[in-house]
Amino acid sequence: MTANTTDDRTTALVTGANKGIGYEIAAGLGGLGWRVGVGARDDDRRDAAVQRLRAAGVDAFGVPLDVTDDASVTAAARLVEQQEGRLDVLVNNAGVTGGMPQEPTQVSPDQLRTVVETNVIGVVRVTNALLPLLRRSASPRIVNMSSGVGSLARQSVTTDPLSTGPISAAYSPSKTFLNAVTVQYAKELQGTGVLINLACPGFVATDLNGFRGVRTPQQGAQIAVHLATLPDGGPSGGYFEDAGVIPW
């Protein structure tokens, strides 16, 4: 395989890109003329998404990837290295709710473990496996898909389910945890050129919420595409939605 470290095309990898917001992030980045790795754990769903993206003119390639599995993530990083030589943009989009209801008095340890394993540890696992390839990029960017429901400020001032989601002892706290970890990454990566930020897509109609969301996946993808295309010297360690900065 040829490693394209000197190629001037931009290459991105999106986790959980077979459907929902992740698919539309891949479509959006592909629309910029970028080459896009479709990270997905299921072979059929991944192949279908790659075919659909290619039919829409996107230079897409499949990357088998289960973010909860060390061997899968290691193999994904190896595939990107062998095929692309470097990575310019990583979008950590894959996420799960762990199933509702999950009131704190009812949540099971298994629910908590599953959600944190995917939404937090999965992001750390994927990021650390791909960072060596991102460091080869002139303008590396990492976007972590968080949610406004991870905002403790918002959770504390309102019970409006449109901005805080249902009471959840696993999903919302997993995004708060992800926010905290992302801030630590930003501190460690300061001065390296790697910009890492958190995106909230709004309340989007996808499988995640039984399609009860009020925004389209295309609308939800916009903030991630924006943070993936930040100029050098742009913000890092920030928490953003379309309307601007989200309070922690």
Ligand X SMILES: NC(=O)c1ccc[n+]([C@@H]2O[C@H](COP(=O)([O-])OP(=O)(O)OC[C@H]3O[C@@H](n4cnc5c(N)ncnc54)[C@H](OP(=O)(O)O)[C@@H]3O)[C@@H](O)[C@H]2O)c1
Q: Check 171, 185, 187, 239 and give the catalytic one.
A: 171
Query: Cβ of residue 138: shortest distance to ligand X, in angstroms?
Result: 27
Residue 96 makes contact with ligand X by CB under 6 A:
yes
Taking residue 19's Cβ as centre, other Cβ atoms within 10 Å add up to 17
Among 8, 160, 207, 232, binds ligand X (CB under 6 A): 207
Residue 66 makes contact with ligand X by CB under 6 A:
yes
With contacts defined by CB under 6 A, name the span among 51-59, 87-95, 103-111, 133-141 that binds ligand X: 87-95
Residue 22 makes contact with ligand X by CB under 6 A:
yes
Phi-psi region of 211 (alpha: psi -120 to 50; beta: other; left: phi over 0): left
Which pair of structure tokens corresponds to residue 171? 């999903």
DSSP classification of residue 56: T
CB of 140 or CB of 220, closer to ligand X: 220
One-letter identity of residue 98: G
| Helices 217-228 and 20-30: angle between axes, nearest 10 degrees | 50
Among 20, 28, 98, 140, binds ligand X (CB under 6 A): 20
Cβ atoms of 90 and 130 closer than 8 Å = yes
Instruction: Tell me the C-alpha to C-alpha distance, in Å, between residue 185 and each of 1, 119, 143, 196.
Output: 32, 16, 12, 7
Residue 145 makes contact with ligand X by CB under 6 A:
yes
Which pair of structure tokens corresponds to residue 176? 């708060």
Q: Check 19, 23, 175, 187 and give the catalytic one.
A: 175
Number of residues that bind ligand X (CB under 6 A): 31
- Residues in contact with ligand X by CB under 6 A are 15-16, 18-22, 40-42, 45, 65-68, 93-96, 118, 145, 147, 200-201, 203-204, 206-209, 213
